[in-house]
Amino acid sequence: MIRTTYLANLTTLETAIPGTSANLDTDQAAVWTHNKRELADRDALFSNWRLKLCQFLGVPPGPAYSGSGGSMQLVV
């Protein structure tokens, strides 16, 4: 479950965050309107999944969870 649910989703969510920069300059196009909170929404979703993984594993989130720019490593 960890590999197929949590780690698979974390990878997908994490790689989607940098891709939002392609749309940051679009406010409105035809009838489509860019979600101005897209990057924040994706980052929040990614952080939520990281927290869910920590809770599932029964470990407290480390200092990198607070958004301090650090990184988390999990050795399975």
Q: How far apart are CA 30 and CA 47, in angstroms?
A: 32
Work out the mean pLDDT of the chain and round it to a whole number.
76
The pLDDT assigned to 46 comes to 84
The pLDDT of residue 68 is above 50: no
How much is the CA Rg of the chain, to the nearest whole Å?
15
What pLDDT digit, counting tens, does each position of 19-53 carry? 776 665 666 667 777 778 888 888 888 888 888 88
CB 40 within 8 A of CB 1: no
